[in-house]
Every structure is written in C-alpha cells, then in structure tokens.
Structure 1
Amino acid sequence: MNKSWIAPLLISVMLLLGQQPCSANGLVQPQSEAPSRSESEPKLPDQDSRELMYKDTLMLFLLPYIEKKMAEIYAPLLTITPTVYPYLVEVTEMKRVNGFRRFDFLITLNIHPTVGPHLSVGEDTMTFRITPGPKVKLESFKHLRDPRKSDLTPNYQNILR
C-alpha cells in the first residue's frame, strides 16, 4: 500500500489552517484581561530604537544605585525590598551641567518600584550626577507615593508595615 499521499495532505491541511495564536497553558492573557497600570506608570514602547537602547543601557548602569536607595527608603514601609525594573523607569530630564561636550550630566528619573507580579508600591524621583570616572552621585531624591493597600493583592497586603 502506497502512503506517499499522506505528507502532501498534511502539508495542505497545515497551509489551509494557517498559524493560530496559542498560549502556553493559558498564561497569555487577552488584552482585555491584562492588569491595568497606574496612570503615573510609564507607557511601554512596542518596538526597539537606538534611543531606547541607550536608555536601557543607562538604566542598567544606574540600577545598582537606584536599588540601594529603594532598599533604604522602603525599609520602614515594607517588610521586603521592592524590585526596580529598568523598563519601569522614565528619564524625565537629562542635561549637561557645564555646556556642550562637557561630561558632567544631571539625569532625573521617575521610578516605579514593584513587588511580586509587578504590583506597584510607590513612586519616586531621583536625580543623579554622572561625572568622568565614571562617578555617580545621588543629587536629590523625592518620595512621591507610599505603598497603598488597595494597590496590592490580598496575598501581598501583609508586606505593609
């Protein structure tokens, strides 16, 4: 019995059906079921750019300094240290301190620390001074919003002090 017709039949069926979107065990949420973000949280870009790559590189460079300050600020507010994801940090201002082609920068960031499954626990602004060396100094810090019980799921409300 010649079964050479099976392969072309399977290929034809696959081509007719086309690719269907799938989810791994239901982990992919439809857009309508995605958790809503706070109005103050940054809008995430949907494609890469040179500017975005520079910003992401800068965030990786500054992340240890940001995390150190977050641990200090949130210790009296939470029983755990919040996580700072580089994509939830906005560069709100960047300027050269001493004019064109001088390597002394002030960078102001708006930061949204989270816990667990990206639950917002506050908002902060930090201004760093970056000078040759490189040397990084936190010039100013402003805590804009404390964690709110209403922003946390019931199983995370116990982390509030």
Structure 2
Amino acid sequence: MRKIIIVPSVLLLLLTPAQYSSAEPDYYQPAEKSKEELMMDLFFSLLLPNVQEAVSNYYSDYLTTSPLVYPYQIKILKMERTNGYRGYMFLVTIEVTPVVGPHNPVGRDQLTFSITPSKILLKEFKHMETYELPPNWQDIIKKN
C-alpha cells in the first residue's frame, strides 16, 4: 500500500515543472539578438570611454593598476529624458563592476551621467562596495 502512494508522489514531484519567480530583474534586459540588444550594446560602446575614465580616476587613489570595465559588466539602473518627450537630454545611472587581471572584481560602483548630443558629463560617482582581491593581486593596493 505504501508503494502505491510513494511511487506516484515521487513521480509527481519529479515531473512537476519548477516554479519560476515572476519578479522583474534589477535592470532591463532586451531579448537576445534583438534590435534592442544591438542598440543597448551600441550605447554601452559609446559610453564606455567615459565610464572607463571615471573608474580609472576613482581607483587611482587606491590601486597602482587601473581596473577595466567591460560593456557586459554595465547595468542600466535608470534612464530618463530631462527635457520632455523626444528631447535629447538624458540622465543615465548605471552600475559597473571594474576588474583587474583575469576578471578579478575590485568593487561595485554607480555612475550617473548627463548626456546631450554634444556632451557626456559625469554627474555623480558612488562607490558602493569594495571586493577583496586574491592574494596574488594584493600588491596593486596602494599603501597609505
């Protein structure tokens, strides 16, 4: 009698699909290989020199090596037009994870840029979190 109850119960558990969360991700992710993804990648490519400059400036006080930010390590937290519908002035807040060497993360940072057709201006840089480097990368930390 027990086998009759246990076997179907186990089969039911194994064959029931997992429940997926309906919660939205922290940031927007377009569909793979879509035009939106292409546009987002283009946007990150154009913004990357400004991101890299801001990150290098911040970490130059703490590290002897400038960390890198890769486009796929940028997350858009907020984008808004600041001068109305179809206006070309934007405020963009992103989160980045700069790395050194073979992708060792050094921290997590939020950057806010004001973007117009003629200028990209860093408005705010917030260092959110510092990550400990592996022992073989400790020598790039500046001593106070």
TM-score band w.r.t. shorter chain: 0.7 to 0.9
The counterpart of 2:46, out of the listed 55, 61, 73, is: 61
Q: Which structure would you say has the larger Rg?
A: 1
Q: Which amino acid aligns with 1:77?
A: Y
1:113-148 deviations in Å (ceiling 9; x for gaps): 001111110011111111122x11111111111242
Gap regions ≥5 residues in structure 1: 1-41
Could you tell me how far apart the structure 1 residues matched to 2:117 and 2:80 are? 15
The counterpart of 1:99, out of the listed 66, 84, 91, is: 84
- Normalising by structure 2, what TM-score? 0.73
2:68 paired residue number: 83
May I ask how many residue pairs the two structures share in their alignment? 115
The counterpart of 2:107, out of the listed 108, 118, 122, is: 122
CA contact (8 A) 1:104 1:130 kept: yes
Query: Where does 1:7-86 land on structure 2 (aligned, <5 Å)?
Result: 47-86=32-71
- Structure with greater strand share of residues: 2
1:143 paired residue number: 127
**1:158 is aligned to 2:139:** yes
Q: Which amino acid aligns with 1:68?
A: E
Gap regions ≥5 residues in structure 2: 1-26
CA contact (8 A) 2:31 2:37 kept: no
Could you list the structure 1 runs, at least 4 aligned residues long, displaced by more than 4 angstroms after superposition. none
TM-align CA RMSD = 2.0
Q: What's the CA shift for 1:76?
A: 1.6
Could you tell me how far apart the structure 1 residues matched to 2:134 and 2:125 are? 28
Could you tell me how far apart the structure 2 residues matched to 1:88 and 1:46 are? 17
Could you tell me how far apart the structure 1 residues matched to 2:63 and 2:76 are? 26
- Judged with a 3 Å threshold, the aligned counterparts in structure 2 of structure 1 residues 45 and 114 are, in CA distance, closer, same or farther, namely farther
1:31 paired residue number: none
Could you tell me how far apart the structure 1 residues matched to 2:108 and 2:137 are? 18
